[in-house]
Amino acid sequence: MSTKPYGVNELREMFLSFFESKGHLRLPSFSLIPQNDASLLLINSGMAPMKPYFTGEVEPPRHRVCTCQKCIRTGDIENIGKTARHGTYFEMLGNFSFGDYFKREAIHWSWEFLTEVVGLDKDRLYPSIYVDDDEAFDIWNKEVGVPADRIFRFGKEDNFWEHGSGPCGPCSEIYYDRGEKYGCGKPGCTVGCDCDRYMEVWNNVFSQFNNDGQGNYTELAHKNIDTGMGLERTICVLTGKKTVYETDAFTDILAKIAELSGKEYGADEETTKAFRIIADHMRTSTFILGDDRGVSPSNTDQGYILRRLIRRAVRYGMQLGMPDGFTCEIAKVIINQYRNAYPELERNAAFVIDQLTLEEGRFARTLKQGNKEFDKVASRAADGKIDGETAFHLYDTYGFPIEMTVELAKERNLTVDTAGFEEAFRKHQELSHQGAEQKFKGGLADTSEETARLHTATHLLHAALRKVLGDEVAQKGSNITAERLRFDFSFGRKVTKDELAQVE
């Protein structure tokens, strides 16, 4: 185990300059909000924003690039705070080849970086390969010199990278054995076990197929390399910390939570879990809001993920007795910590703070009452099940995201009729659409020339918004008097100043 005093900033720089020395062009992180990719809501890996370079659709600035990409994965949200390695936001370091080098160089460089540059003990590292990838096996075994019994062969579920549609392929991961004390102790616990002993730190993907999204694979015109090294995980392994939350990525954030709550991180299991959830969710929310294509909390798509994260953080914040406005205080720490690596956070700081203030306030106002209501609901839940209408009531009246109701229910061994919730949700939407159509149809009682002009102006404004922002812009209402017009619309993210100027 290396004891070099690295932090996330040093490791990020070491990775990027190592690959620059191998002829790669360093690019800044792409936005977290995917562009022209309907298969993903949020960027989840270094390769995701570069799909057109892999397919050859767009010519890359160079055929070798390296990045540190902002990534979000919320699929494992239930594991946050419980395991050593899960977080919804993380930074992924990656080196990429678009029809340039392939397996040999990728494998050799991953090993060189981990063992020689970072200094990890090679006797604790275990590569895995796709089950029938004998070419990768030979490189690991005959060229790198890893003994055959330390190379693990896994099937498609573990060793074939694909997410959404697009470029994909078999992969070769590298695991680090952190030692028995981190293991689950179950018989058969080895590389690939779900516990925290063998931590995957690197993934070399041999990206050579295109998945059309329907499960049809075709060979890409050229073969590519897509690698990923989780920054926080690698620092965790490297510094011998128990979990990613003990690394310097979280030091300042946890200290702020302690200061605001007067509680101590590590005091007991529940407190620790709450600290980690707040820290993780606030980091993710700050990065979503602080993106140049930042979105606002809403009930759809990225906005819903954001809303869910902020509300979950607020709920755990209340559990710790955090003061009002705590989300902004934590966001300020995060912006300060990351402002050099991600200057967009500082550019968008005012938006981050505004949106957090609004969302925390909206939710906090109803949360106490909502919790009381939930207690009542739970105590009268027939057959241990909360019905869909009730779950919808908690959502509609108290702002409880359905996932939160499910989570609270689980804590009390109850289940929720989520299909019933969807049905109630759909019914409610139909009714409110019908309502929105009375309100505005023929609402022009005043037919003076000014009013008529402003009425025409709303149509022009709507058309201009659609022209600049796209068809996603939906009118939510308008109100016209002789002096002015008001036009309400929904759109998935913040409209930039430039866009507004264009609309005007």
Is residue 71 within 8 A of residue 89, CB to CB? The reply is yes
Q: How far is the CB of 337 from ligand SER (least distance, A)?
A: 24
Q: How far is the CB of 219 from ligand SER (least distance, A)?
A: 19
DSSP codes, 346-380? HHTHHHHHHHHHHHHHHHHHHHHHHHHHHHHHHHT
82: number of Cβ within 10 Å: 15
Q: Please, which residue, 126 or 326, has the CB nearer to ligand SER?
A: 126
From the list 34, 49, 94, 167, which residue makes contact with ligand SER (rule: CB under 6 A)? 94
DSSP state of 493: B
Q: How far is the CB of 167 from ligand SER (least distance, A)?
A: 9
CA distances for 88 relative to 123, 288, 293, 299, angstroms: 30, 11, 19, 19
From the list 11, 15, 30, 45, which residue makes contact with ligand SER (rule: CB under 6 A)? 45
From the list 203, 272, 296, 337, which residue makes contact with ligand SER (rule: CB under 6 A)? 203
Q: How far is the CB of 230 from ligand SER (least distance, A)?
A: 8
Tokens found for residue 462: 């709507």
Could you tell me which stretch among 226-234, 243-251, 271-279, 469-477 binds ligand SER (CB under 6 A)?
Answer: 226-234
Could you tell me which stretch among 40-48, 214-222, 361-369, 441-449 binds ligand SER (CB under 6 A)?
Answer: 40-48
Residue written as token pair 């939930």: 374
Closest residue to ligand SER, based on beta-carbon distance: 228
Q: Enumerate residues 446-485 that contact ligand SER by CB under 6 A.
A: none
Q: Please, which residue, 47 or 306, has the CB nearer to ligand SER?
A: 47
Q: Please, which residue, 47 or 72, has the CB nearer to ligand SER?
A: 47
472: number of Cβ within 10 Å: 13
Could you tell me which stretch among 26-34, 41-49, 252-260, 386-394 binds ligand SER (CB under 6 A)?
Answer: 41-49
CA distances for 389 relative to 418, 422, 429, 432, angstroms: 10, 9, 14, 16
Q: How far is the CB of 96 from ligand SER (least distance, A)?
A: 8
DSSP codes, 386-403? E-HHHHHHHHHHH---HH
Is residue 291 within 8 A of residue 33, CB to CB? The reply is yes
Could you tell me which stretch among 224-232, 247-255, 373-381, 446-454 binds ligand SER (CB under 6 A)?
Answer: 224-232
Residue written as token pair 């609901």: 377
From the list 34, 46, 127, 401, which residue makes contact with ligand SER (rule: CB under 6 A)? 46
Contacts with ligand SER by CB under 6 A: the residue count is 10
Q: How far is the CB of 93 from ligand SER (least distance, A)?
A: 9
Q: How far apart are CA 201 and CA 173, in angstroms?
A: 8
Q: Please, which residue, 92 or 295, has the CB nearer to ligand SER?
A: 92
Ramachandran class of 445: left when φ > 0, alpha when ψ lies in -120 to 50, beta otherwise: alpha
CA 289 to mean position of chain CA atoms: 12
Ramachandran class of 321: left when φ > 0, alpha when ψ lies in -120 to 50, beta otherwise: left
Q: How far apart are CA 444 and CA 448, in angstroms?
A: 9
Q: Enumerate residues 350-409 that contact ligand SER by CB under 6 A.
A: none
From the list 11, 47, 335, 349, which residue makes contact with ligand SER (rule: CB under 6 A)? 47
From the list 91, 100, 226, 359, which residue makes contact with ligand SER (rule: CB under 6 A)? 226
Residue 205 engages ligand SER in binding (rule: CB under 6 A):
yes
Q: Please, which residue, 167 or 317, has the CB nearer to ligand SER?
A: 167
Q: How far apart are CA 143 and CA 397, in angstroms?
A: 63
Could you tell me which stretch among 114-122, 222-230, 301-309, 460-468 binds ligand SER (CB under 6 A)?
Answer: 222-230
Ramachandran class of 162: left when φ > 0, alpha when ψ lies in -120 to 50, beta otherwise: beta
Write each residue from 152 to 171 as x if it is in contact with ligand SER (CB under 6 A), else as -, in one continuous string.
---------x----------
CA distances for 122 relative to 115, 154, 175, angstroms: 6, 21, 11
From the list 169, 228, 290, 370, which residue makes contact with ligand SER (rule: CB under 6 A)? 228
Q: How far is the CB of 236 from ligand SER (least distance, A)?
A: 17
Is residue 466 within 8 A of residue 487, CB to CB? The reply is no
Q: How far is the CB of 121 from ligand SER (least distance, A)?
A: 23
- By the criterion CB under 6 A, which residues form the site for ligand SER? 45-47, 94, 161, 203, 205, 226-228
